[in-house]
Chains A and B, each alone.
Chain A
């Protein structure tokens, strides 16, 4: 069964159409595989070679990939949600209720978006803890760590801006409280508050601002930084493993870790 599927796929890869798109052609030689990665605009972000060991669950717990997965779900559900939503007062609330009560599977769509958002925040944190405790943020990967922190901020801002969009009591007061925290910043707090809301209180301007941020600016920025993040993984020597570190650093880690071993 599996073999026939492979054969079919090979035949497909041999077709002219396929060849016109993926110019590297078929074949399982190292060169062909490397070319397949290098010559694809999407895949070229990734390393041409990954150790099998690094693909095991225990190496990364797949946390980065899962985060990307939730992000893709959010994009996929967010676009149909935009079809039903007007960022205006009070239509925004009515639209949410339409999604909830009359749009076919609208509630499912909304809940999928919501739970994926929650999951994404959780996964981003988990991913960062895993990276931190494994020491994968160290040279030469420190820049990618910084990109990761920016992506964390992006994730949180996406969550925060999305919270206002249902325009219900919960949203209104959460954003009122949240934006008041911003105004506690010394000297320019009030200005930030005003800039954030487009006014002095949460109203139609704030809703429009948050909508544009949530659906345009922040997702595009997140995609941009995600691309850099992935590209840097390749540039920084692939996924982290202990032996991928420079020899000098490896020695340091060994001496750092030694006292702990002795204690055992």
Chain B
């Protein structure tokens, strides 16, 4: 063996010339590695594959002409993007390649942006500079941001678009959930536009909770909030029986009575279910409150709390006081102050109290609380951060109770602690944390939420959008959202509007809900007489809607106060309300308007003027429009609806002045005449 080796050594390195030759050859071979590696690179392989695939297609010539060999890159200095993805993904811009089953040669789905303007990694993440699959798609020792799974892709839209977008339902829902589920109570979320996310749920104050409910209910609620109401936003803290017992003891002991809250029953709760149901319906309680029906479906809105088992919760005295004037117990409540009379309160409270579930509190038996239990309960209430959401007398709202989430979408994976068997990616971590927060380590305080998988994906999407890029975006690229204004109407009418909680549903000057129409320019839009009648007896404009304006039982003075204020203050500068007459249009003009309505513009596709023939249900019914809207408003609406209500579904048809005037004449003549005349006769 040794001799063989020595003879080989002699043959190769025996004299200087041989040694020089051999070493040179080795050196040459090793130098050849570099060009060889370049020649056999992955992107070349894919480009050859693309050309092979294209060759047999009918549009081969076009595709071959478009093809550019070599390394391709999209360079966007403003965004810090150097994306070479198009070196392998050659067919992204070829519209005809939709029939290719998978990437890298498939065309890119249609999106509102150009690839050349945004590159690839802005949306998909991954490492754009790389030209090998492993480095570009996966995380490596040196690069920890892999390709974003497609189901979270909308998060990238949220980096620039700070408001809701029509094309990103998942992101919109996620952002909504972040605010509505109260995440922002414990977690600080500084948004890229410099504001701080505000929670939009309104957890009730617990300072007077003993007026409202019993300790048994609090115990059952603490143990499992979703058992009481499946739509509850209160999470499950997984308390032991003893902890729930002590916390309920503390909350009851800590509660102070509020004057007027448990006034003696003015009337026995009525047990007439038919009258109750009809008052519940007339008052449109279901616009905000949901009740689970026998089939298990939720019926009603999600603005107020679910009432399926409300009878188990509230004390009858409290409920009656609440129905009389909710603002007494909670001055900030979104519930309107209906002017119910005593029999109505009796009927409605009887109806609501009958909504019980005999199983809910059946097994709850609590002994009278000891001082030690109350003290322990207080410690638990403060440990679990209950005061982050609820106002609790004697316990301060904790600061920085939970980790800040302002940059969670760029959190380095190296700083995360994963569960065994979990994929080591940021989206999986976030989703896992939302799904089962307590499993990550013992002693974590984050409670268990009852999110569906789709909601978890939405939340993850919204959180991934809170990343470094969204915080360092060039201002020119940020698409700002209009922030909620803190508009508050003034004077007596303003007080009245607060009392009626108009802003729970209506939006005025950028403040308020989106359930009902924006009233910012209502004074220019409607006729005074109609508004007065509408307050007294709210009818419906859109028959397809379930949620409607409730009747608040206002007296004449209140109606006049509100009407005067709305007519005077809520006017658009674009229209002079009185510039066009409400009647006196020539018959010819009305006829022309009618022809345009049914002929050229086919308005009956969405609207109803003649209830016998028209079938339009998308827009409001126009049978009474002549006694509702002002002529000036109708005219401007015909000319440019978006100028009056940005985002309205009504198309801008580009009418001439004459056409608009004729249609106005036709519409203003629709005063619900047929029925009125019939009534007169």
Chain A positions near chain B (C-beta within 8 angstroms): 2, 90, 93-94, 97-98, 100-102, 104-105, 107-108, 166, 168-171, 173
Contact present for B131 and A169 (CB under 8 Å): no
Q: Is B647 an interface residue (CB 8 A)?
A: no
**Which B516-549 residues have a C-beta within 8 angstroms of A?**
none
The residue on B at minimum CB distance from A101 is B131
How distant is the Cα of A171 from the Cα of B132 in the complex, in angstroms? 21
Q: How far is the CB of B440 from chain A (nearest CB, A)?
A: 23
Tell yes or no: B38 within 8 A of A by CB.
yes
A-B contact pairs, 25 of them (CB 8 A): A2-B17, A97-B127, A97-B129, A97-B130, A98-B129, A101-B71, A101-B129, A102-B84, A104-B38, A105-B34, A105-B35, A105-B38, A107-B34, A108-B33, A108-B37, A166-B142, A168-B143, A169-B142, A169-B143, A169-B144, A169-B414, A170-B141, A170-B142, A171-B142, A173-B414
> Is B82 part of the binding interface, using a Cβ–Cβ cutoff of 8 Å?
yes
Residue pair A101, B17 in contact (C-beta under 8 Å): no
Q: Is the CB of B143 within 8 A of A94?
A: no
By CB atoms of chain B within 10 A, which of A93, A97, A100, A171 has the most? Answer: A97
* Contact A101:B33 (CB < 8 A) given known A169-B144, A170-B142: no
How far apart sit A97 and B414, CA to CA, in the bound complex (Å)? Answer: 21
Tell whether, in the assembled complex, residue A94 and residue B82 are in contact, meaning their CB atoms are under 8 Å apart: yes
A168 touches B129 (CB 8 A): no
In the assembled complex, which residues on chain B have CB atoms less than 8 Å from the CB atom of A171? Answer: 142
B166 within 8 Å of A by Cβ?
A: no
B interface residues, Cβ below 8 angstroms from A: 17, 33-35, 37-38, 71, 73, 80, 82, 84, 127, 129-132, 135, 141-144, 414
Q: A90-B80, A168-B143 are in contact. Are A101 and B35 (CB under 8 A)?
A: no
Q: Of A102, A107, A169, which contacts B141 at CB under 8 A?
A: A169
Minimum CB–CB distance for B529 against chain A, Å? 67
Residue of A with least CB distance to B414? A169
A2 to B141 alpha-carbon distance, docked (Å)? 53
- Which single residue of chain A is at the shortest CB-CB distance from B141? A170
* Residue from B132, B141, B143, B144 in contact with A101 in the complex, judged by beta carbons closer than 8 Å: B132
B34 to A108, Cβ gap below 8 A?
Answer: yes
CB distance from B197 to the nearest CB of A (A): 28
| Shortest distance between the CB of B133 and any CB in chain A (Å) | 12
Q: Say which residue of A93, A101, A107, A170 sits within 8 Å of B84 (CB atoms).
A: A101
Chain A residues positioned under 8 Å from B132 (CB to CB): 101
B14 to chain A, nearest CB (A): 13
Q: Which A residues lie within 8 Å of B131 (CB)?
A: 101-102
Q: A90-B80, A168-B142, A169-B141 are contacts. A102–B34 as well, Cβ < 8 Å?
A: no
- Is there an interface contact between B37 and A102, defined as CB atoms closer than 8 Å? no
Complex CA–CA separation, A169 to B143 (angstroms)? 7
CB contacts (< 8 Å) of A102 on chain B: these are: 71, 73, 84, 131
In the bound complex, do residue A94 and residue B129 qualify as a contact, i.e. CB atoms below 8 Å apart?
yes
Q: Report the minimum CB–CB distance from A204 to chain B (whole Å).
A: 15
Distance in angstroms from B611 CB to nearest chain A CB is 67
Contacts of A97 in B (CB 8 A): 127, 129-130
List, in ascending order, chain B residues with CB within 8 A of A101's CB. Answer: 71, 84, 129-132, 135
**Distance (Å) between the CB of A74 and the closest chain B CB?**
16
Closest to B82 in A: A94
Q: Chain B's interface: helix, strand, loop or mixed, by majority?
A: loop
- The binding surface of chain A is classed by DSSP as helix
Further 6 A-B residue pairs, CB within 8 A, beyond A101-B131, A105-B34, A107-B34: A90-B80, A101-B132, A102-B71, A102-B73, A102-B84, A166-B142
Write out the residue numbers on chain A whose beta carbons fall within 8 Å of the beta carbon of B38.
104-105
Residue of A nearest to B43 (CB): A101
Known: A94-B82, A101-B131, A101-B132. A168 touches B141 (CB 8 A): yes
Contacts of B35 in A (CB 8 A): 105
Which of A98, A101, A107, A171 has most B Cβ within 10 Å?
A101
By beta carbon, the residue of chain A nearest B35 is A105
Separation of A84 and B130 alpha carbons in the complex (Å): 16
Give the CA-CA distance A125 to B80 in the complex, in Å. 43
Smallest CB-CB separation from A169: which chain B residue?
A: B142
A94 to B80, CA, bound (A): 10
Question: Which chain B residues border A2 with CB–CB below 8 Å?
Answer: 17
Q: Shortest distance in angstroms between A66's beta carbon and chain B's nearest beta carbon? A: 13
The residues of B that contact A94 with a CB separation of less than 8 Å are 82, 129
Quote the shortest CB–CB distance from B80 to chain A (angstroms): 7
Q: Measured between alpha carbons, how far is A162 from B319 in the docked complex, in Å?
A: 74
- Distance (whole angstroms) from the CB of B549 to the closest CB of chain A: 56
A90 to B127, CA, bound (A): 14
- Which residue from chain A places its CB closest to the CB of B41 in the assembled complex? A101
Q: How far is the CA of A158 from the CA of B33 in the complex (A)?
A: 27
A-B pairs with lowest CB-CB distance, top 4: A168-B142, A108-B34, A97-B129, A105-B34
User: How far, in whole Å, are A104 and B36 apart by their CA atoms in the complex?
Assistant: 11
Q: Which residue of B lies closest to A104 (CB)?
A: B38
User: In the complex, what residue of chain A is closest to B136 when comparing beta carbons?
Assistant: A101
Question: Taking each of B17, B34, B414, which has the highest tally of chain A beta carbons within 10 Å of its own beta carbon?
Answer: B34
Bound Cα distance A99, B143 (Å): 16
Chain B residues contacting A173 (CB-CB under 8 Å) are: 414
A169-B141 Cα distance, complex, nearest whole Å: 7
Shortest CB–CB separation between residue B428 and chain A, in angstroms? 19
A141 nearest CB across to chain B (Å): 30
Closest chain-A Cβ to B386's Cβ sits at a distance in Å of: 38
Q: Give min CB distance, B141 to chain A, whole Å.
A: 5
In the assembled complex, the Cα of A255 lies from the Cα of B35 at a distance in Å of 59
Q: What is the bound-complex CA distance between A102 and B43, given in angstroms?
A: 11
Report Cα–Cα, A108/B130, bound state, in Å: 16
B168: shortest Cβ distance to chain A, in Å? Answer: 28
Q: Which of A90, A94, A108, A170 has the most CB of B within 10 A?
A: A108
Tell me the complex Cα distance, A93–B73, Å: 17
* Cβ of A81 to closest chain B Cβ, rounded Å: 14
CA A223 to CA B82, docked complex, whole Å: 38
Give every chain A residue within 8 A of B414 (Cβ-Cβ): 169, 173
Cβ contacts under 8 Å, A104 to chain B: 38
- In angstroms, how far is the closest chain A Cβ from the Cβ of B135? 8
Residues of chain B lying within 8 A (CB to CB) of residue A168: 141-143
List of A residues within 8 angstroms of B71 by Cβ? 101-102
> With A and B bound together, what is the CA distance between A44 and B319 in angstroms?
105
Complex Cα distance, B127 from A171, in Å, reads: 17
CB contacts (< 8 Å) of B80 on chain A: these are 90
Task: For residue A186, give the distance in angstroms from its CB to the closest CB of chain B.
Answer: 30
B437: min CB distance to chain A, Å: 27
Query: CA separation between A166 and B82, bound complex, in Å?
Result: 17
Q: Which residues of B contact A107 (CB under 8 A)?
A: 34, 37
- Bound-state CA distance A100–B38 (Å) is 10
Residues on A with beta carbons closer than 8 Å to the beta carbon of B141: 168-170
CB of B418, distance to nearest CB on chain A (Å): 17
* Cβ-closest chain B residue relative to A2: B17
Q: How far is the CB of A128 from chain B (nearest CB, A)?
A: 26
Chain A minimum-CB-distance residue to B36: A108
Tell me the complex Cα distance, A104–B34, Å: 8
Give the Cβ gap from A249 to chain B, nearest Cβ, in Å: 35
Expressed in whole angstroms, the minimum distance between the Cβ of B468 and any Cβ of chain A is 11
CB-CB nearest in chain B for A5? B17
A94 and B33 CA atoms in complex are apart in Å by 24
Q: Give chain A residues whose Cβ lies under 8 Å from the Cβ of B33.
A: 108
CB distance from B514 to the nearest CB of A (A): 42
Closest chain A residue to B129 by CB distance?
A: A97
Name the distance in Å between A107's Cβ and chain B's nearest Cβ: 7
What is the CB-to-nearest-CB distance from B469 to chain A, in angstroms, rounded to a whole number?
Answer: 12
Instruction: List B contacts of A105 (CB < 8 A).
Output: 34-35, 38
Minimum CB–CB distance from A15 to chain B (whole Å) comes to 25
Q: How far is the CB of A28 from chain B (nearest CB, A)?
A: 17
Distance in Å: Cβ of B459 to nearest Cβ of chain A: 28
Please measure, in the bound complex, the distance between the C-alpha atom of A104 and the C-alpha atom of B130, giving whole angstroms.
14
Quote the shortest CB–CB distance from B350 to chain A (angstroms).
Answer: 67
Query: A98 contacts which chain B residues (CB < 8 A)?
Result: 82, 129
User: Once bound together, how far apart are the Cα atoms of A47 and B365, in whole Å?
Assistant: 102
Distance between B139 CB and nearest chain A CB, rounded to angstroms = 9
